[in-house]
Amino acid sequence: MIKPGDKILIAGDSWAHGEWEHDAPNYIMKLNDTYGVTHNGLGQYFSDYGCEVINVSYGGLSNNDSFLKISETTNKTKFDYIFWFQTDPIRDMRPYSNTTFPKSKFELLNMQTKLLTKTYENLNSLGVIIHCIGGITKLHSSMNTFGNLIPVIDSVIEFFGSNANDIWISDWIRTDHLQFSHEFINELYMLPPPALAPEWFSPDGVHPNRHAHKKIFEYILTC
């Protein structure tokens, strides 16, 4: 049970950072140059609750980036609770290359599973309990085989009433040097975008807002 005075680490991408302002159509490419955080989200609610919070999340981070930040931070400081927001696993393939990038939706899904399993292995190897939240991608069922990883919310998108796609169209779709076949592009764009309710995802329509983070915080307290 989380209590005031506990030391908490939060890690992940922009979804772990809080509520973001709007008005930048290319938010994926310009996230940290153009946007600003208007509310510190989960970290703010833990702080208001009386916890000591360190948030090492950053817009656009990959899952491997988050693992490295968690590893570095936990080597220096002991935490009572660690919360990690999972992002698009394909970001771990940066820098993107035509020779290694999947050529079909089937290959992309297989690559996602492989990359997520590697992330889970790395996080589990740290030897600390990590509470996991599915952000722009849903937690994979293979997480249940790793004793140090505790799934808290499988998918924030589903938590707030929308359907989470198997694939999140992330920054790789805008990488100019990648050459996608017409068939692959059609497969990707046949995926309906998740209908993210403004109540929970305004003002920018993509990131959970302060109200969503409060719900997440309240849910965590009941776990």
Which CATH number belongs to the domain containing residue 169 in this structure?
Answer: 3.40.50
Residue predicted with more confidence, 112 or 192:
112
Q: Which amino acid is at 80?
A: D
- State the total domains in the chain: 1
**Phi/psi class of residue 106: alpha, beta or left (left: φ > 0; alpha: ψ in -120 to 50)?**
alpha
Q: Is 188 within a domain? A: yes
pLDDT in tens, 137-160: 999 999 999 999 999 999 999 999
pLDDT tops 50 at residue 24: no
Q: Is 2 within a domain? A: no
Average pLDDT for residues 14-40, to the nearest whole number? Answer: 69
pLDDT for 106: 95
pLDDT tops 70 at residue 123: yes
Q: Is 1 within a domain? A: no
* Structure-block tokens of residue 25: 């159509």
Q: Is 80 within a domain? A: yes
* Structure-block tokens of residue 136: 């722009």
Q: Which domain holds residue 121?
A: 7-222
Banded pLDDT at 36 (limits 50, 70, 90): confident
Q: Is 91 within a domain? A: yes
Q: Is 168 within a domain? A: yes
46 vs 102: CA distance, rounded Å = 40
Handedness of CA 125, 130, 131, 135 (dihedral sign): negative
pLDDT in tens, 62-79: 999 999 999 999 999 999
pLDDT tops 90 at residue 120: yes
pLDDT for 194: 83
> pTM for the whole thing?
0.93
pLDDT for 12: 98
pLDDT tops 50 at residue 100: yes
Which alpha helices (DSSP H) does the chain contain, by range? 27-34, 41-49, 63-76, 105-125, 156-159, 182-189, 198-201, 210-222
147-163 in b/e form (b: 16+ CB < 10 A) is eebbebbbbbbebbebe
pLDDT in tens, 76-91: 999 999 999 999 999 9
* Structure-block tokens of residue 86: 């999972």
19 vs 39: CA distance, rounded Å = 5
Mean of all residue pLDDT scores within the chain? 92
Q: Is 161 within a domain? A: yes
Cis peptide before 203 (omega within 30 of 0): yes
Q: Is 136 within a domain? A: yes
pLDDT tops 60 at residue 180: yes
pLDDT tops 70 at residue 33: no
DSSP β-bridge partners for residue 39: 19
Question: Are the CB atoms for 28 and 206 separated by under 8 Å?
Answer: no
pLDDT for 23: 57
